[in-house]
A and B are shown apart, each in its own frame.
Chain A
């Protein structure tokens, strides 16, 4: 029997597989047993009720889908009164994702969301279709530090910070978040993208820009997780392109303690369950008794490379 449990700060997850915020709701209970997931991650909530962006909200591209939803929701009061109790019916920890356009409101929201049934606050400072001074604080080191510091001062709940892959230097931003009091880092949100239709010359999405969601993101985000893991001490949740158990293994080898999954659950509604089962089988076949053995276990110090091959082509 493989021990799949992992710790993210003080929170223990029964396995390292959780849904990504925005790609999940308790309504998936219709098709999978939510009690088997590592954590439950609610859609990002804002203070005000929001309708979201104009349709179409999704378009297919050659290498994945782009989507721009616009954080629709019924606002924080409805969320605490009606949505949190829906999640409380299940056993895994509840991660509540939150977003705001100002630092003061962000902190106030985090405080108001610090109710008993909420286990973790995930600060979504990286919604790709918001600008860097109006919610997408993760584009900039200073904004990230100021925002996370303010949230930290208002909540004792574990605080996870979701970073942007669209920032130039994600390592500096990750370090800023850690210094400001983050308990874990979620790497990363979606990649800002655009599709233009050649039949009518118009952007394919109602909001023009969208975030790219695709297995194609995995090598890029994996690189970010690897780089950040070398520079911070807090745990990392890797999100980007996970479609199978080996992808979870890869993220953990790079230094992640857990993964979030979006696209795979859209494609195969039962994918998260398959991935958890397959991860246990993968470990079992290799005599790995604790999945935590994989965290940061990448063999980057004893690589076998042929230096002569490089020399022969003149590098």
Chain B
């Protein structure tokens, strides 16, 4: 069976130009229009979705919950949470960078310019820059770099220097390098193919940044190894950090308690909702995955 994503049950969703009749709104269900959806390299795709202006409030680290079309004629029952790659206020669009992994992203890959795309958000608590931080280090791997990319925009707006350590299997799948550099970030690419992504080497790069006073805070996503490394170096040098996490998610509003992750706070294990308390968390409290 399949359900029509934009019929009947979503008449209250906002289309571009609609008058919003709910002034207390923090989150919307939006029926956007796909402007483009194309491959950027062997593995990743970039989609641009024109949306109602209320969706443009999204900031770095926040997510949208995407109602992906079916790739195979059978229903895709749940939305897929995805962090926003870029908000283009001038064009009235939100952008996502994604890798085709499962049925949801496979369906997403089939969207054509002009198609409707139902997205809900912006959800959750994103990245926050403390005024005392003058230089930050961003470390990510794979599609995790899509989550970190908008940090460069945020940092540029606040005059914060960024060093981005981009980890990937090989040169062909390095993500977001151009976007980081375009916004003034210094990038360091580390690869599995030449061994530079090894923990010892990344550690050496970070230690150099710390010595040069270029590491007031760490931001990471997409790699348990990089999380553990920055947790260790953060503890050693007393440097704070934030990590963006993901989990299978259902409602996106904090109601269903499906998207739980474990954290350690003052020696005690606690569960937190990725959709509500997250997806960005205090790096030192994350237990990893």
Contacts and interface: CB of A to CB of B under 8 A. Distances in A.
Q: Do the two chains belong together in a single complex?
A: yes
B83 to A, nearest CB: 18
A215 B3 contact: yes
A273 interface: yes
A31 interface: yes
B3 A267 contact: yes
Interface stretch (A154-162, A249-257, A274-282): A274-282
B9 A27 contact: no
A62 to B, nearest CB: 6
A46 to B, nearest CB: 13
A58 interface: yes
A83 interface: no
Interface residues of B, number: 39
A266 B249 CA distance: 10
Interface centre among A23, A214, A270 (most CB of B within 10 A): A270
Contacts of A245: 8
A33 B24 contact: yes
Contacts of B24: 29, 33
B12 A274 contact: yes
Contact of B248 (A28, A55, A266): A55
Given A51-B271, A278-B8, A243 B3 contact: yes
Interface centre among A28, A33, A55 (most CB of B within 10 A): A55
Contacts of B29: 31, 268-270
A104 interface: no
Interface stretch (B207-215, B216-224, B256-264): B256-264
22 contacts: A23-B255, A23-B256, A31-B26, A31-B29, A31-B120, A43-B255, A52-B257, A52-B260, A57-B248, A58-B250, A58-B256, A67-B258, A72-B260, A243-B8, A266-B250, A266-B251, A267-B9, A267-B77, A268-B9, A268-B118, A270-B10, A274-B11
Interface of B: 1, 3, 8-13, 22, 24-29, 67, 74-79, 118, 120, 247-248, 250-258, 260-261, 271, 276
Given A270-B13, A271-B12, 16 more contacts: A23-B256, A30-B27, A55-B248, A55-B260, A55-B261, A57-B257, A59-B248, A63-B1, A264-B9, A266-B256, A267-B79, A270-B10, A274-B11, A274-B12, A277-B11, A278-B8
